[in-house]
Copies of this chain bind each other. A is one copy, B any other.
Amino acid sequence: MARSLGELAAQFGCELVGDPSAEVIGVATLANAGTGQLSFFANKAYRDQLLVTGATAVVIEQRFAVDCPVAALLSDDPYLTYAYIAGELHPQPAVAAGIHKTAHVAADAIIVASAEIAANATIEHGATVGEGAFVGAGAYIGRNCSIGAYSKVLANATLVQDVKVGERCIIHPGAVIGSDGFGNAQGGSGWVKVPQVGGVRIGDDVEIGSNTTIDRGAIDDTVIGNGARLDNLIQIAHNVQVGAHTAMAAFTGISGSTVIGERCMFAGRSGIVGHISICDDVIVGGATMITKNITEPGFYTGSFPGEKDRDWKRKVARFRRMDDLASRVTALEKLARKNSDGN
């Protein structure tokens, strides 16, 4: 949808340096933008691209605007402002109200008239789909699940049962929410399944990535707070509570019954053991495993960066011989004490 720079400046509170009647219809990178496209400058590494950009306008901080060869929308936080404008230029596709003829909807499911149920989707007994909500092709909405207003459950995602999704959420393809937690008791002749009877409660404005799995609670519900952002291929075990606005990158794994605070950030492949708690405003580095409660906000890590194999192998060999090194230091200390006594 075409928008004039003047309109955008007014709507998003930016000062405009340039022609207010110029129009943009979409976004592009500084390097590839052409006429009618808007870009942003938020990383000095791209200054060379800024200098020659063909964009119609760039969202940029005032202090860098001198380098901008085209119209500038000035913002203290260009990435945030860009996010808002891009959302305006590239709105989510409209929902086409109705139930596709190849979908199966149980007789007692409640589908609000403004909702869309796409091809080959299945909606089970007792499920409800709210105003303007969307259930994608091949998605499965199990018993007693509810999808809040304007939420989207995309293609081939699965909500197993007793999953309550808030408003304006996006559940990406292949995500599985509400499957049984990993509960097994050791019996005399093997594992005995511990029935999982809880559900999953997901707040408003939550986004859940592709092929991510969130298990139902063993007894009480698993809970994902408002505004949380989960990337792809994440595992949230039974009874976990994730605080509002917490973000997790791909391959993050949270073990059972762990409670995570608000506004935390987890880098890729980080993991938290079960039955502990992490306070608000904690940042966990990549490939880091947290094994104890964290009660103080801050940045926590525990991983090694890779390097040339021969260098790494030598370090690992040293690490393996640290006992020996420590013994040698102790022997030297003993000798030094003896010499000192002997003086």
Enumerate chain A interface residues (CB-CB to B < 8 A).
26-29, 32, 77, 79-80, 82-84, 86-87, 89-90, 93, 100, 102, 104, 118-122, 124, 136-138, 140, 142-143, 154-156, 158, 160, 170, 172-174, 176, 179-180, 182-187, 190-195, 197, 205, 207, 209-211, 213, 215, 219-220, 226-227, 229, 231-233, 235, 237, 244-245, 247, 249-251, 253, 255, 268-271, 273, 284-292, 298-309, 312-316, 318-320, 322-323, 325-326, 328-329, 332-333, 335-336, 339-340
CB atoms of A302 and B312 under 8 A apart: yes
A271 to B269, CA, bound (A): 9
Q: Please determine whether B219 and A232 come into contact, CB atoms closer than 8 angstroms.
A: no
Query: B308 to A300, Cβ gap below 8 A?
Result: yes
Asked whether, in the complex, the Cβ of A219 is within 8 Å of the Cβ of B268, the reply is no
Contact A185 B83 (CB under 8 A): yes
Pick 23 A–B contacts, CB within 8 A, sort by A: A29-B219, A29-B220, A80-B186, A83-B183, A118-B122, A154-B158, A156-B176, A158-B173, A182-B232, A190-B245, A191-B229, A211-B213, A231-B235, A235-B268, A250-B255, A285-B309, A290-B305, A303-B304, A314-B323, A315-B322, A318-B322, A328-B329, A332-B332
CB distance from A82 to the nearest CB of B (A): 7
- In the bound complex, CA of A140 to CA of B205 (Å): 25
> Which chain B residues lie closer than 8 Å to A229 at the CB level?
182, 184, 191
Per CB-CB distance, the 3 closest pairs between chain A and chain B, nearest first, are A302-B306, A104-B119, A122-B137
- Given contacts A300-B307, A316-B304, A320-B315, is CB(A219)–CB(B27) below 8 Å? yes
Instruction: Kindly provide the distance from the CB of A314 to the nearest chain B CB, expressed in whole angstroms.
Output: 7
Give the CA-CA distance A143 to B312 in the complex, in Å.
Answer: 47
Contacts of A292 in B (CB 8 A): 305
Q: Are B285 and A306 in contact (CB under 8 A)?
A: yes
Alpha-carbon gap, A118 to B104, bound state (A): 10
Given A185-B80, A207-B193, A211-B213, the answer on whether A291 and B305 have CB atoms closer than 8 Å is yes
Contact in complex: A250, B231 (CB < 8 Å): no
B residues in contact with A32, CB < 8 Å: 219-220
State whether A227 touches B174 (Cβ < 8 A): no
A85: nearest residue on chain B (CB-CB)?
B195
Q: How far is the CA of A29 from the CA of B246 in the complex (A)?
A: 26
Query: Which residues from chain B contact A308 at a C-beta distance below 8 Å?
Result: 298-300
A302 pairs with B305, CB closer than 8 A? yes
Known contacts A307-B300, A318-B326, A192 near B291 by CB under 8 Å:
no
Give chain B residues whose Cβ lies under 8 Å from the Cβ of A195.
27, 83, 86-87, 89-90
Residues B291 and A268 in contact, CB atoms below 8 Å apart: no
Residue of B179, B251, B328 near A154 (CB, 8 A) is B179
A180 contacts which of B100, B160, B172, B191 (Cβ < 8 Å)? B172
